[in-house]
Chain A
Amino acid sequence: MKIDSGNTAWMLASTALVLLMTPGLAFFYGGMSRAKSVLNMMMMSFVSIAVVGMAWVVYGYSIAFSDGGGANKFIGGLDDWGLVGLEKTATLDDGTGIPSLVFVAFQATFAIITVALISGALADRTKFGAWVVFSLVWVTLVYAPIAHWVWGGGWIMDKVKALDFAGGTVVHINAGVAALAVVLVLGKRRGWPKDPMRPHNLPFVLLGAGLLFFGWFGFNAGSALAANDIAGVALINTMVATCAAGFGWIVVEKLRDGASTTLGIASGFVAGLVAITPACAYVTPVGALVLGLIAGAVCAFAVSLKYKLGYDDSLDVVGVHMVGGIIGALLIGFLGSTAVNPAGAKGLFAGGGLELLGKQAIAVAVTIVYSFVVTFIIAKVIDLTMGFRIDAEDEISGIDSAAHAETAYDFGSVHAGSAISHGTLAGSGSDQTKVEAEA
């Protein structure tokens, strides 16, 4: 098939937009972590770009999207390992006229950010090497199979026919559930929930949320795989659901806590982006607005689940991505409409009955069970072999200096170069003194 230059141009741009989301996520998460571990937090996102980006080219794309023959219901094959041969197939065979390799790259950016999303739950205490191994194994055993089921011709796509336009189940529920499984293996941060672990840089959080919002247009509207009306629907829905969710979150805060916070509006935006992801091409803009409001308000409450249930999901990956993803996936069952997209389906409110809701619930439930069980096993094996958690001493003095031989900030500005310049600021000085002593 002939290459369609309009569609291809949009997919090239979308790929770049989605890749930018992961550094955006690094800022979003980095700002929320403590000053002594911000670099490690950001590094976990950056290294997942490196590791998953390579794995995707070598075999990840193949097992997610190529034909698995007899086992195709559950897993793709290895025909496209190393993308061998794909460089000669000018376009995808789905009629969009975009080059195969562009689609591979676009999908790589999804795999990358899904892995990076999990890291938000692991702040301050995860052994870096263990995280690298986890990234590689998880993308292979959890992400690629689920992507195959939902998008690559597997059984959810083929038999259940649940709708997931841009990754509510594959990306968000999957990452949120995996985060929960890993923190159950990893344990709580020292001092949590007694010690205050407030975000060290809220402007970073806002910067990150802004970059995520920007990149998410490529994530959702790019999932149309074409520069067409469906991409347009996805784009406007992504915008309005996010607006509504940010607003919903800060209204809850105002009523519950007395103040609308910057962390709240940033978190609400992300919750809205998450929730609209599966639904963005299957609901009307008013449906998206309603979906966003619900997601923002519910996630604002959901983030406190961890205090009630006692698991230390440091930066609320479960409360935002798992809960937001479930809300989005299930609300398609209510708000689904064919008015904007004939490839969609009618939900309960559009006269479609409960059928669609049932399909959505199956996809959600299967993703939760598979992701939780397999992730838990992977995390447990890593914990028992190489260890998943850093030493107590390193955790207290800060993982940045222990794992990366760096610290993010030079706090010792009283007399630069003098012996008393470091270690004078309580809490933050000790890690710098350690580096100096070793130097």
Chain B
Amino acid sequence: MKLITAVIKPFKLDEVKAALETAGVKGLTVSEASGFGRQKGHTEVYRGAEYKVDLVPKLRVEVLVDEADADEIIDVIVKAARTEKIGDGKVWAVPVDTIVRVRTGETGPEAL
């Protein structure tokens, strides 16, 4: 099993969500995040004093998937989140040892 984490532009959430549903993903977790990549932040000016805002608002989307589906799901997210402009984000996957469904106690792929 894999945990796929995607950091995306907030306005792309609907498209990513729709694409994941179409691809058969059963659930996902979304949280607000902030950070920067190569584009860095932006500058704001208050009474002539410049403030560098380093951290750009992003969303973090997390999906647990079967190992065999991971590459396909990553591809789905990348296509849906892409604007081809700087700051589109990153997607990565890490192996997951254990998953338990809280309600039933099921474990492993059954719990996805």
Contact = CB atoms under 8 A, between A and B. Distances in A.
A267 B52 CA distance: 22
A258 B49 CA distance: 12
B69 to A, nearest CB: 30
Contacts of A394: none
A307 interface: yes
Identify the interface centre among A261, A301, A316: most chain B CB within 10 Å of its CB: A261
Interface in A218-265: 253, 256-259, 261, 263-264
Contact of B46 (A193, A258, A263): A263
A198 B46 contact: yes
A257 B51 contact: no
Contact of A253 (B44, B48, B51, B52): B48
B89 to A, nearest CB: 21
Nearest to B34: A426
Interface in B39-73: 44-52
Contacts of B51: 196, 198
B48 A304 contact: yes
- From A196, A256, A301, name the one whose CB has the most chain B CB atoms within 10 angstroms: A196
Nearest to A258: B45
Contacts of A300: 47-48
B45 A253 contact: yes
Contacts of A196: 51-52
A199 B46 contact: yes
B12 to A, nearest CB: 22
Nearest to B44: A198
A20 interface: no
B47 A307 contact: no
A256 B48 contact: yes
Interface in A244-302: 253, 256-259, 261, 263-264, 267, 300-301
Contacts of A264: 47
Contacts of B52: 196
Nearest to A261: B45
A239 B65 CA distance: 66
A78 interface: no
A303 interface: yes
Nearest to B48: A304
Interface in B1-45: 44-45
A303 B46 CA distance: 10
B49 A261 contact: no
Contacts of B48: 253, 256-257, 300-301, 303-304
A175 to B, nearest CB: 18
Q: Which 8 A-B pairs have the closest CB atoms?
A: A196-B51, A257-B45, A303-B47, A304-B48, A198-B51, A198-B46, A263-B46, A263-B47
18 contacts: A198-B44, A198-B46, A198-B51, A253-B45, A253-B48, A256-B48, A257-B45, A257-B48, A257-B50, A261-B45, A264-B47, A300-B47, A300-B48, A303-B47, A303-B48, A304-B47, A304-B48, A304-B49
Given A193-B49, A199-B46, A300-B47, 18 more contacts: A198-B46, A198-B51, A253-B45, A253-B48, A256-B48, A257-B45, A257-B48, A257-B50, A258-B45, A261-B45, A263-B46, A267-B47, A300-B48, A301-B48, A303-B48, A304-B47, A304-B48, A304-B49
